[in-house]
Amino acid sequence: MELIKQLAALAGLQDSYVHAQGHTEHISLDKQQAILSAMGFDLSSEHSIQQHIAELTEQPWLDVIAPVNVCRQGEPLRLRLQQLQAEAESDWQWHIVTEEQQQFSGNLTIAAKDISERHSTAKGEVLAAELTLELSLPLGYHQLTLSSGTAHYQQQLIITPQRCFQLHDKAVLHKTFGPAIQLYAVKSARNWGIGDFIDLQQMVAPLAKQGVDFIGLNPLHALYPELPQDCSPYSPNSRLWLNTEYVALEHTEEYQQCAAAQQQVNSESFQQRLQQLRATTDVDYIGVAAVKKEIASLLFAQFKQQQLAKNTPRAAEFNRFVQQAGTSLRQLALHQVLQGQLFAQDWSMAAWQNFPPELRDPNGAAVAEFSCEHADAIQLQLYLQWQAQLQLADVKRLCQQHGMAIGLYCDVAVGTSRSSAESWGAPEDYLLDLSVGAPADIMAPKGQNWGLLAYNPQTLRQKAYRPFIELIQANMRYAGALRLDHVMALLRLWCCPIGADATAGAYIRFPAADLFAILALESQRNSCVVIGEDLGTVPVEISHLMAQYQVLSYRVFMLEQKAGSYDHAAQTYPELALATVSTHDMPTLVGYWQEHDLALRHKLDLFPNPQVADSLYHLRADEKQLMAERLHLSDGDYAQLVRASHLFTARQPAKLLAFQLEDLLLMATPVNIPGTSTEYPNWRRKLTHNIDEVLTNSDVLELIAAIRNARQ
């Protein structure tokens, strides 16, 4: 028992946590064992457990220098050097090459006074020296080489700022606001049954005219074009690239030149299909994917014939994009085609873990052969990704031209799907046999299992945090603000073995201080405000780190129905926060008041027992009574409910305010019910009206104007 506890502590597995209701929950030994086994530890004997303990204890001491060193700009540059006493050398040379190719060099001599620690290992005693380099480096990612007479060691030096970017850094001093939109849910007379980047472009001018400073979006991550029914934006195929179903194909350059595509789109039968896709209440992902694939194939054939074959400047632009995108995009395109081919033969092959063994390695000979045989299909995916990037870049430019202080407010999912191209391309980066979720709380009394993968914290450090850095860079590319879904993931993630429910989980720790510092660096470089979704069980360390690095908190009016939230509203919705009335994971205001969400949860058997259901019904009655009293509401007047709650929230100090278009349209049905997958059609429900009608609706415009005035 003691050995398991010791191993768990060394592996970063917490044996207890504070429950959402405030009491301490202890993780049973059998659950700890199951999670450790899923992390790859052999627990079959005391000897093997002791070996793991020895490895985890000794390995950090056997690194001469750590693979990565995160330092704050302006503070002394400290270097820890560890040597076996029997092999220790006193004289060292250091050499630093910065991102800008500046070079700095010097010598170090280790004296007895520099030895700060000693540690016994199986290889002998290790001496640790703490040294300071008298050097001021610019922000960024630099390479340190440390050399003795016989050996060379390398370390990634990351120099970070004090805090994240804030709007006042570019002289934006007013309180901002904007809609939070599920892009796929946007209806229009021109789209193909799913909201797209041209819909988004066409929203910018009318919203900017109303004083809006940002448009909030669901994660735009790449999904599965050959498995379009897997549509959750929070279960992505790759968080580094975009969902190409958002490309408006008829607005590409190829479409303007492709008679075959135009003829097909303008045909009566195709137009009829488009009308049917537009008319559905829920997005018909399979139907949308079919029509888009049909036309995309014609467009790529046009591009191949007229551009690639002739090696035109446009072809060169595409090739440059693919080359700069690197391995991750190539692997995504390859995975999308390979997965589609295999899934057509056997549905169990949706997950790469079930691919034939020779196709599980993206760098293997069989995958290279497949790539050659399906070069056109893979090129098509690369072409669509290029078009997605071009159209979204146009949206960013439009936001800037119309004077939006923020522009796009984007969202990054907490993890990648287990069957994703992300994990296929770098399986060592993830804990493949664990699934991320959350323990029980008021919104999900049975807990949540999201089926997502967590980073492997050991690999993350060995790779000098490169996977995390690339993730943040990719998602800040077009964003003026970025929301981190479940920001607690930077400190710890609730993980449970594959196939187990959320109650079988425990928290695994991550190097939060380093990850927040890197987040601040990318935030400053991209002039991007960072919002941390800190709902649920929030450890105090996260609150401290968010305050230290000025990551905005995420404050939801519907979760703050306590008398103190009204009496001390300035503390409930502080300046360093994004305030919102509701979220995509919650009922709409109308649905909340009608208790539609509770009825749905009852129907779908999402309450662990009748007592929890009763307590939530009683809680809702109390919350509604409090809202009615404080906001002076008349029962059943939903327009008044929406107006009063939005204006109350808008008046608070929070720097950013987001509102859901669903609420302004008095919609009752939610877009997502946490804790469900197939039980409810999540991530499908469209808006009730076309977006141009919404943005010219006098009631909607009047409420947006009232929100703008309340913000001032």
Give the integer Cα–Cα distance in Å for 330 and 467: 16
pLDDT per position as a tens digit, 448-467: 888 999 999 999 999 999 99
Give the pLDDT confidence score for residue 348 in this predicted structure.
87
Domain hosting residue 110, numbered range: 74-160
Give the integer Cα–Cα distance in Å for 110 and 689: 72
Reported for 95-103, long-range contacts at CB under 8 A and 24+ positions apart, including other chains, are 95/144, 95/145, 95/147, 96/135, 96/137, 96/142, 96/143, 96/144, 96/145, 96/157, 97/142, 97/143, 97/145, 98/137, 98/138, 98/140, 98/142, 99/138, 99/140, 99/141, 99/142, 100/138, 100/140, 102/138
37: Cα within 13 Å, side-chain hemisphere: 12
| pLDDT, averaged across the chain | 95
Residue 97 within a domain: yes
Residue 571 within a domain: no
648 pLDDT exceeds 70?
yes
User: Could you tell me if 218 and 411 are in contact, meaning their C-beta atoms sit under 8 angstroms apart?
Assistant: yes
Percent of the chain having pLDDT more than 70? Answer: 99
| φ and ψ at residue 16, rounded to 5 degrees | -160, 165
Q: Which of 708, 219, 186, 275 is nearest to 486 (CA)?
A: 219
566 pLDDT exceeds 90?
yes
Residue 116 within a domain: yes
Q: Which amino acid is at 260?
A: A
> What would the mean pLDDT of 534-545 be, rounded to a whole number?
93
User: Could you tell me if 614 and 689 are in contact, meaning their C-beta atoms sit under 8 angstroms apart?
Assistant: no
Give the pLDDT confidence score for residue 443 in this predicted structure.
62
Give the integer Cα–Cα distance in Å for 209 and 708: 11
Residue identified by tokens 């649905």 is: 591
> What would the mean pLDDT of 388-414 be, rounded to a whole number?
98
pLDDT per position as a tens digit, 336-378: 999 999 999 998 889 999 999 999 999 999 999 999 999 999 9
Q: pTM, whole model, 2 decimals?
A: 0.97
Residue 48 within a domain: no
Give the pLDDT confidence score for residue 501 in this predicted structure.
86
pLDDT per position as a tens digit, 159-190: 999 999 999 999 999 999 999 999 999 999 99
* Sign of the Cα pseudo-torsion (522, 525, 526, 532, in order): positive
Give the integer Cα–Cα distance in Å for 654 and 652: 6
Element (DSSP H or E) covering residue 453? strand 448-453
Give the lowest-confidence range in 223-232, 475-484, 532-541, 607-616.
607-616
Give the pLDDT confidence score for residue 678 in this predicted structure.
81
Q: Going edge to edge, which strands form the sheet with 434-438?
A: 416-417, 448-453, 434-438, 492-497, 506-509
User: Could you tell me if 672 and 583 are in contact, meaning their C-beta atoms sit under 8 angstroms apart?
Assistant: no
Show the CA angle centred on residue 604, arms to residues 448 and 183, nearest 5°. 65
Residue 112 within a domain: yes
Q: Which of 497, 495, 406 is nearest to 204 (CA)?
A: 406
pLDDT per position as a tens digit, 293-313: 999 999 999 999 999 999 999
Cα radius of gyration rounded to whole Å, the chain: 27
651-682 in b/e form (b: 16+ CB < 10 A) is bbebbbbbbbbbbbbebbbbbbbbbbeeebbb
Residue 110 within a domain: yes
The CATH number given to whatever domain includes residue 96 is 2.60.40
> What would the mean pLDDT of 310-319 be, rounded to a whole number?
98
Residue 72 DSSP SS3: strand
Give the integer Cα–Cα distance in Å for 73 and 140: 10
Encoded tokens for 687: 């808006």
635 pLDDT exceeds 90?
no
Residue 147 within a domain: yes
Domains held by the chain: number: 1
Give the pLDDT confidence score for residue 442 in this predicted structure.
66
> What would the mean pLDDT of 20-42 be, rounded to a whole number?
92
Give the integer Cα–Cα distance in Å for 685 and 665: 14
Q: What is the 3-state secondary structure (H, E, C) of 431-445?
A: CCCEEEEECCCCCCC
Give the integer Cα–Cα distance in Å for 22 and 538: 11
Residue 698 within a domain: no
534 pLDDT exceeds 90?
yes
> What would the mean pLDDT of 137-144 be, rounded to a whole number?
98
